[in-house]
Amino acid sequence: GESVGLHLPTLSVQEGDNSIINCAYSNSASDYFIWYKQESGKGPQFIIDIRSNMDKRQGQRVTVLLNKTVKHLSLQIAATQPGDSAVYFCAEKGSDTGNQFYFGTGTSLTVIP
Amino acid sequence: ETGVTQSPTHLIKTRGQQVTLRCSSQSGHNTVSWYQQALGQGPQFIFQYYREEENGRGNFPPRFSGLQFPNYSSELNVNALELDDSALYLCASSLVSSRREQYFGPGTRLTVT
């Protein structure tokens, strides 16, 4: 089966610092990735996506980096704010997995004021 | 807010009972996917509906079934409920079934006693 995992289950950062959340995947056929943010009691919120033909994509305060060689994905959040505290999931879809997204177990980010 | 709505918000059922959960997709989205999220875990894909037909299924037994209606709204039905079915059930809508971002609703919290 698929293995989409996160290196660190919890991460604490000071407000204003940059955060980096990592994700490893095992399916070399994965060609589309999404980062989601999930706050307590809510559904996952789309943050940013990236396709396998790219290695970097930037959004507002967020950057996703994709390293297909080592099957690694990261989410960088600049100037982390208390509102960024949540659980972050990476999800991937492979060309051989139909329409199914596979999610990692999540990293809990806590921003310290 | 994503525009994806789910009902009910919370539900308590007894083992062996049946349950129906509902989802209205974001305007313009014709594809609905259902996920089960156990406490402390990432969402797991149950199935996807596109043009009123099942368009991919994860590793869930047949007692998990669904429907999609002409207006693209969807239902998830679970028969013969088991204690392990207690989870947050999420639906996500997207445009067609290709590699596009999908947007989640707030979820339905199901508790089976």
Q: Do B104 and A43 touch (CB under 8 A)?
A: yes
Task: Nearest by CB to A32, from B55, B99, B105: name it.
Answer: B99
Does A40 score more than 60 pLDDT?
yes
Q: What is the pLDDT of residues A44-59, one digit of tens each?
A: 999 999 999 999 999 9
- The whole-angstrom distance between A18's CA and the closest CA on chain B is 24
Q: Do A42 and B58 touch (CB under 8 A)?
A: no
Closest by CA position to A78, among listed A39, A40, A45, A47: A47
Residue with tokens 């070399």: A28
Report the distance separating Cα B3 and Cα B23, nearest Å: 11
Q: What is the pLDDT of residues B56-107, one digit of tens each?
A: 899 999 999 999 999 999 999 999 999 999 999 999 998 765 556 788 999 9
- The whole-angstrom distance between A78's CA and the closest CA on chain B is 22
Q: Residue A2 in 3-state DSSP? A: coil
Sort out which chain B residues have CB atoms less than 8 A from A40's CB and list them: none
Contact residues of B toward A, CB < 8 A: 2, 4, 31, 33, 35, 40-45, 48, 50, 55-56, 58-59, 90, 92, 97, 99, 101-107
Q: What is the pLDDT of residue A100?
A: 80
Does A33 score more than 90 pLDDT?
yes
More confident residue, B14 or A100: B14
End-to-end CA distance of chain B: 32
Q: Are the C-beta atoms of A24 and A71 separated by less than 8 Å?
A: yes
Does A97 score more than 70 pLDDT?
no
User: Nearest residue of B to residue A48 by CA position?
Assistant: B101
Report the distance separating Cα B16 and Cα B23, nearest Å: 23
Q: What is the pLDDT of residue A75?
A: 97
- The first and second tokens of residue B83, run together, are 């204690």
